[in-house]
Amino acid sequence: MAKTTLQRLFDLGQSPWLDNITRGLITSGDLQALIDKGIVGVTANPTIFEKALAGSTDYDTSISELFRQNKSPKDIYHALLTQDIADAADVLRPVYDRTDGVDGFISIEVDPGLAADTAETITQAVLFSTTVNRPNVYVKIPATPEGIPAIEECLYRGININVTLIFAVDVHKQVMEAYLSALERRVEEGKPIDRLRSVASFFVSRVDGKVDKLLQALIDKETDPDKKAELTSLLGTAAINNSKMAYQEFLKVFETERFERLKDHGAHVQRPLWASTSTKNPAYSDILYVDDLIGPDTVNTMPDATIKAFLDHGTVERTIDRDLDLAHRQLARLEELGISLNQVTDELTEEGVASFSTSFDSLEAAINGKREQLAAGNSAGGQSSLGGLEPQVREGLRRAQTDNVSTRIWQRDPSLWKQDEASQKSISGSLGWLDAVYIMRQRASEITGFAEKVRNDGFTSVVLLGMGGSSLAPEVISRLFGPQSGWPRFFMLDSTEPGTIQAIERRIDPTRTLFVVSSKSGTTVETLSFYSYFRAKVEAARGDNAGDSFVAITDPGTPLQELAAREGFRHTFLNMADIGGRDSALSYFGVVPAALIGLNIAAILSNAADMAGSCSPDSTPGSNPGVWLGVVLAEARKMGRDKVTIFTSPDLDAFSLWIEQLIAESTGKEGKGLVPVAGEPVGRPSAYGKDRLFVYLSIEDNTDMHQEHSIEKLEAAGHPVVRLVLPSKDAVGAEFFRWELATAVADHIFGIDPYDEPNIWEGKDNTQRLLDTYANEGKLPEVAPILTDGISLYGDDEALARAGSEGTLNSALHAFFSTVNPGDYVAFLAYVPSIGEHEELFLDTRLAVRDTLRVATTFGYGPRYLHSTGQLHKGGANKGVFIQITCDPRSDLPIPGRNFTFGTLTRAQSMGDMQSLQKHHRRAIRLHIKGDHSVGIEQVRQAIRSSLEGLGI
């Protein structure tokens, strides 16, 4: 492969460096790409850094963390800069090693405000050198009268120095003298000098900028055409000629006997570095200050645009000492014209220091500005790298302030969401979650006392019999904290699939198990069926004392309350009636099960109360964690990012399930909504389309670094990421409240009633009609499969039917997946036993679909998802592509008092859901497994993976 112009430049003896460094450049791999093209070093300064910080979200997470540590803007700047410099040095280290320490350097600059303070410059140079602690780092010190002594002292101390802001040849001489003096001092004291390096940054284009203005003033006054032409010929020559003179002085100094003696000890030349090499005047060549300054033992540091131009049309040949006589004549002519180069360079030095100082002031302002931007996200552990969403979020927060959203929510103003009387009445009766945490704190000791009594009575297991949102919070809490020593183990039953029920039954002793029957309405068919089944088991074991093994959590006046009283339940907890199931985590529905397994509910509720306080009615939207998150969710959807992809650290993985049901059930209606994506591991940035908003939850000081690195790659690629950092596991209580408020705010922006669930009732009605058919006819309606190929395939799409009739399962699935469009999501709906082995197989299938089609995937066990994401499937936008997987139970289970079995109930639920999907014209198929479930799921996995061949990008 032919060498690039940059690589050929290096072969000639000049080192091409990049005059730019940002965190995004490092993390994206773009810096390495430039190195591959021939860049062998990098410089940085406050001006460049200020633009990077203000113009990107690369530093938001770090700034948030440093502000939490009460760091000043200056300390934050130093922390961010030294981290970038260290990271860039690591990327450049192979170049440093390959060139034996000649190149592979990155430069870090002392604060411009220290230019007139020798002692403080030395102190900061030493600090930077030790903090970064890399051999391939230069510390940049300006060549001011106070800076030159600092340069010599730092070199004497063994610090590599990039001397910056050199404009005059005489100053360059002073810099070289300081370098040689430092080397001589080290040699006299027996200190090594063979690894000490220095460059002298001689600024170029700015000289033309100032001289050309003076020349142009003369040209404008001149009337003689010949003299005007002569003056015009001098434009654009001063900078190159000044640099050529500096190079000649360099050659003289480093060819002396004085330096030859130092070379015997391993000394290296102090290379001239051509800085400020971008062309400011469009009338000049865009690579003027590269093409005309090529020579050995030099460096040219170029901005991105100049590098691109030189790669495209640069000429590589020695030019640094070409036409020296002409250069001398032109410089002399400028003096004759009254244009003093010494005066020009003195002014440029002062202006250079002032310019960098101004950039530093702007940098401090930018950091403070970031603090204000991130204040909302930082509330209660939140951070964000929103990229292109930031302007929309700021505008959304402004509207929330204008609409008085925070106050109106706490005032329970239903007009925030709907204007019709019926909807407002329903909404007003659903906002009790705002007060739940305070009520539960008052009752915490009572709940804890009850839990201790249960433990003391010898119960070793707690089985929660529930379904939908009200049962997910206990599952999340139990999985988050795990078993507590000396307390009952927790089991969650929210599946009617017979194998799942049997698996729990095998793990418990019915005589020592407390069953928590949990249902807001008290009529949930699944929950009451579970109760009937286990009541019979406990009666067989305990006889008349069976009621003591049951506890009810329900609303006042429900059939379950009556049942509990009639059948002698140990206790009934009557919840606040104005709380929906999905918002009930901080009510009896979530708190009682947590107490029963020995958790510190006081700590969980305290964290929740703190969050509620942060979300108080008098808080501004930007400082209100719940309102801020709700605005982000809503504005992301407006920009097409309606797939809220939730990542968690391993110790929080269950929490994504709770968020999933809350978002889906609250927002997925009226053809709108957000699609929550839970359970997907972090993929490569290229695996995702532009429909994603990422949310990452983790626990402070317990970070998975591999996952953290993957998240950073998403941020670097421009994907919007919200980070929520919990100080401890107890802060899950705070997150319950934050997310409940956030979904309410998002629904306000969408114009949706957060608390109705029309399509969930539709599915329930379908199920009941099918069960009525079963009662009357002794069987459920038969549906003929389109195709049987080991796995039976059902569906009514004509194109799918044709593919099925003409080919195999693979061809039918291929035709089905061909209907998937960018921005869609593929949902796997599994009516199979809920065991880890099955989830792993489905996860592998999900990833195959995601990585091939670049669409979001979701997974839900049936019938649980019917009470949560099922609302979104039918009520949200028609972007879902549904694959329902059903199976025949290994052995069925009767339901006491019912004329159908659990297997029949499960089948009716899956069929009812399919009917509803088809009614709403969703793309949906059903794959039915006969025989061994694990073998069948593996067959489904292989068939889907094979069918994806030839699809995607």
Which are the catalytic amino acids? 140
Q: Judge contact between 423 and 414, C-beta under 8 A.
A: yes
8 Å CB contact between 882 and 925? yes
Question: DSSP letters of 824-845?
Answer: -EEEEEEES---HHHHHHHHHH
What are 81's two structure tokens? 């800069």
Please give the full DSSP string across 745-765, using - where no structure is assigned: HHHHHHT--TT--HHHHHHHH
Of the candidates 678, 683, 731, 720, which has an alpha carbon nearest to the alpha carbon of residue 839? 678
Residue 625 CA to its chain's centroid (Å): 17
Distance of CA 674 to the CA centre of its chain: 18
Judge residue 950's burial from the number of C-beta atoms within 10 Å of its C-beta, 0-12 exposed, 13-18 middle, 19 or more buried.
Answer: exposed
Strands (E), 281-436: 298-302, 382-385
Q: 55 to each of 58, 361, 376, 786, how far by Cα in Å?
A: 9, 16, 19, 56
From the CB of residue 317, how many other CB atoms can be counted at a distance below 10 Å? 10
Residue 188 structure tokens: 């006299």
Residue the block writes with tokens 């504005």: 635
Distance CA 582, CA 598 (A): 23
Structure tokens at 74: 């200056």
- Write the burial class of residue 807 (CB in 10 Å: 0-12 exposed, 13-18 middle, 19+ buried): middle
**Cβ atoms 346, 168 nearer than 8 A:** yes
Is the CA virtual torsion 371, 375, 380, 385 positive or negative?
A: negative
H/E stretch holding 18 reads strand 14-19
Among residues 804, 781, 796, the alpha carbon closest in space to that of 911 is found at 781
Contact between 608 and 737 under an 8 Å Cβ cutoff? The reply is: yes
Question: Whole-angstrom Cα distance, residue 313 to residue 166?
Answer: 29
CB 726 within 8 A of CB 734: yes
3-class DSSP state of 105: strand
CB 66 within 8 A of CB 376: no
With residue 139 as reference, give the H or E element that holds it.
strand 137-142
CA–CA dist 256, 177 (Å, integer): 12
Burial class (CB within 10 angstroms; exposed 0-12, middle 13-18, buried 19+) of 394: middle
Closest-CA residue to 551 (of 447, 430, 435, 658): 447
User: Which secondary structure element, helix H or strand E, spans residue 346, and what is its range?
Assistant: helix 341-378
Q: Which helix (H) or strand (E) holds 491?
A: strand 489-493
- Phi, psi at 646, each rounded to 5°: -105, 115
Nearest to 661 by CA among 856, 868, 474, 493: 868
Tally of CB atoms within 10 A around 541: 15
What is the Cα–Cα distance from 533 to 552, expressed in whole angstroms? 16
Question: Could you tell me the strand order of the sheet in which 692-699 lies?
Answer: 382-385, 721-726, 692-699, 643-648, 675-678
Contact 674, 746 (CB under 8 A): yes
User: If you search the block for the tokens 């097409």, which residue do you land on?
Assistant: 640
For residue 953, the SS3 value is coil
The two three-digit tokens of residue 684, written as one number:
């490569």
Which amino acid, 74? K
Answer yes or no: are the C-beta atoms of 76 and 66 closer than 8 Å.
yes
